[in-house]
Structure formats: structure tokens, C-alpha cells
Amino acid sequence: MRRPPILLVLVAVVMLALGETAGALLSPLRPAVERYARARVAANAAAHGLTGSAEYDDEVRNRAVFTAEAGISFFHTHAEGLAPVILLAGTIVASVVAGRRARGILFGLLTVGALFPLGYVVYALAALEAGREAGVALAERYVLTPLGASAIMALLGLVVILGRAARTSQPAR
Amino acid sequence: MIEPTWRLPPIPVLLVGVVLIACAELGGGAMAQFKLELARWARGTMLARPEVHGLVGVRDVDEQILDEALVKLDGGLRLFHLHAEGMGTIIIVTAMVATSLVGRSALRRTIVALIMVGGAGYPLGYLLWSGLIPFHGIARSKRLAEWLVWIPFGSAAIVAMWLLAGALAAQWLGGRRSGDAA
């Protein structure tokens, strides 16, 4: 099997490394993450709609901290899961797609798509900085959707090319 | 000159990755098949150690404590299943990348050894945690698993990943520079 360009491999391996490191934040470093999240919510009281009522504010704070921790957890699982998929898809593109231009486009889309899990880091940070709903919406609109769409388009493109090759019963390369 | 094709990682590394994935599959099946037996065994073991779990002999209080411990035990087994499936794949993939793209043999061997040992050991921490809960309680079992397995093996895997990322980045930058020079 041919290997994809080194930039694609590098991005996938960096995502794996970041995903593994984020796993450590979820367990031994969890108290530090929670302290940081609570401090950021307090520093952005207006964005979170804190009212000064202890009971209500505690509920808002807990939900924001939960969202930030969920963001890190999603980042961990998506980075560990998507990077091998991108490497596998890149290997299939390198091995079976004949056209240089088509290969270049698919490699580009896959490389950008490999960054998709970073959207969950933005999700976690934006939920703390801009308030829970606004932060999540921002991450989904400007980061998760474009990066996810890139990966999806690359995979659909690969499906179309493989489908054509299968119909003509000959290798695409 | 590094060939633009993937090279096969050493067979023992492939074996470790595949065994880990097989263990994860078996673990997933066993969890479902022996769920009742496991719960009965854990409950009996915990009831035999009331002081470890803070059982007071009041049914309402004790049932809540036992339920929480059983949920954590089940969660540990699920996390073993998930992490072993994931790490088995990652061991194979990253060892293939290192074998194909890291030119310096000492660095390559270090990366492959660290990812193999770290990646294979880390998921076992979840099994250890689950197995220790009935004997030592939730918190003490977690501390033991953290210090005996998760921190050392997890750190080895993280170091391997960053070494590999660094080696690839250096190679990519080197390739760009030689491209610029050409």
C-alpha cells in the first residue's frame, strides 16, 4: 500500500498525540481542569448570566463546567478515533486514486478534516468564555461544521471514485 | 531515501496490537454474558468487607453504596473494552508510521517500544480498577490503578506519540527546505 503525503500523516499523528494528552486531563488532571473552568466562569460572569443567587449560579456554573469537560472528553475520543480513519482513507487514496489532481484534492480535504476534533477544544473553551449556549453554537458553526464537512466530502469523493472503479471492474489506478 | 509506501511493523508489535483488540472483543462479550455472575461475585465480596466500603448495616444506605460500586465496576470494564479496541488499533497504526517514516533506527525502536508497552499496558488499568473495587473500594482502587498502570503506561504512550510527531515534523520541515533549495 502507498502512503499519503507526510503532511497528512503528521497532522494525524499530532491529533493522536493531542488526543492521548487530553486523556490525561480527564483523569489525573481533572481537579485542575475543574478549577480552571470555575475560574473562567467567574471571570465571564455576564456571559454566563450569573445573578448573584448562590443556588442559581451554582447550577449555571456546574452546567458550564460539565460542558467544558464534555468538550475535552469528545476531543479525546474523536482525536483517537478519527486520526486512524484519516490515515486509512489517505492510504486508500494514495493507493487507488489515479488522477493527480483528484488525489491532491482528496488529500487536502482529509488533512483539513483531520483537524475536526480540535473543534471540541474550541467547544470547551468557548463554553467557558462566551457562555454555554453561545460558546457551543460558535464552535459548531465556525469550527466543527466546516472541518467535519471537509472530512465528509473527502470520504464521499473517495466513495464515488471507488464506485466508478468497481463499476468498470478495474483498479482506479 | 524513504519509500512512499508503508512498511510492515515488527511482527511482535502486530501481535501485541491484535491480541489487545481480541482481548477487548472478548471482554465486551464476557461483560454481557457474565453480567449477573460478575455482579453477584462483586456484591458478595463487598458484603464480606463492610468496613472497606463503609457499609453500616442499614439496607437503604448500604444498597446505595453497593449500587455505586457496581456501576463503577461495570464502567471500568466498559472503559477497558473501549480503550483496548482503540489502543490496539493505535499501536498498529503508529508502529507502521514509525517503521515507515522514522529514519534514525534508535529513535524508531524507542518510539515503537514505548507505544507497544504503553499502549498495551494502559487499558489493563481499567481491568485492574474494576477487579480491585470489591476489595479496596472505589477511591483506593482508582489510586492504585492510576499509580500502578495509568500514569506509567499512559505516559509512555504519550511520550511515544510526541516523539513520533516531532520526528515527522522534522522530516516534513527538512523536505520543505530541500524542496526550497531545489
A4 within 8 A of A94, measured Cβ to Cβ: yes
C-alpha cell of residue A17:
498525540
DSSP state of A144: I
In this predicted model, what pLDDT tens digit does every residue of B158-179 receive, in sequence order? 999 999 999 999 999 988 777 6
C-alpha cell of residue A82:
478519527
pLDDT category at B1 given cuts 50, 70, 90 is very low
Q: In chain B, which residues have their Cβ closer than 8 Å to the Cβ of A8?
A: none
A107 within 8 A of A12, measured Cβ to Cβ: no
> Measured between CA atoms, how close is B147 to chain A, in angstroms?
10
Task: Establish whether this prediction's ipTM goes over 0.95.
Answer: no
Q: In chain A, which residues have their Cβ closer than 8 Å to the Cβ of B164?
A: 13, 17
Q: How far apart are the first and last CA of chain A?
A: 12
User: Does the CB of B146 have a partner CB in chain A at under 8 Å?
Assistant: yes
Task: Give A138-141 contacts, CB < 8 A, sequence gap 24+.
Answer: A139/A71
In B24-43, the residues whose Cβ lies within 8 Å of chain A are none
> Measured between CA atoms, how close is A61 to chain B, in angstroms?
25
In this predicted model, what pLDDT tens digit does every residue of B14-63 receive, in sequence order? 999 999 999 999 999 998 899 999 999 999 999 999 999 999 988 889 99
A11 within 8 A of A102, measured Cβ to Cβ: no
Residue A3 has its nearest CB partner, among B6, B146, B164, at B6
Where is pLDDT greater, at B182 or A119? A119
**If you average pLDDT over every residue of chain B, what do you get?**
93
If interface means Cβ-Cβ distance under 8 Å, which residues of chain A face chain B? 1-3, 6-7, 9-10, 13-14, 16-17, 20-21, 23-24, 27-28, 80-81, 83-84, 87, 91, 94
C-alpha cell of residue A18:
493531542
A16 within 8 A of B161, measured Cβ to Cβ: yes
Question: Beta partners for B5?
Answer: A2
- 3-class DSSP assignment, residue B36: helix
Beta-carbon separation of A13 and B168 below 8 A? yes
A111 has a pLDDT exceeding 80 = yes
DSSP state of A49: T
Q: Read off the pTM.
A: 0.90
Residue B161 has its nearest CB partner, among A7, A17, A27, at A17
User: Does the CB of B164 have a partner CB in chain A at under 8 Å?
Assistant: yes
Count of A-B CB contacts under 8 Å: 65
Beta-carbon separation of A16 and B161 below 8 A? yes
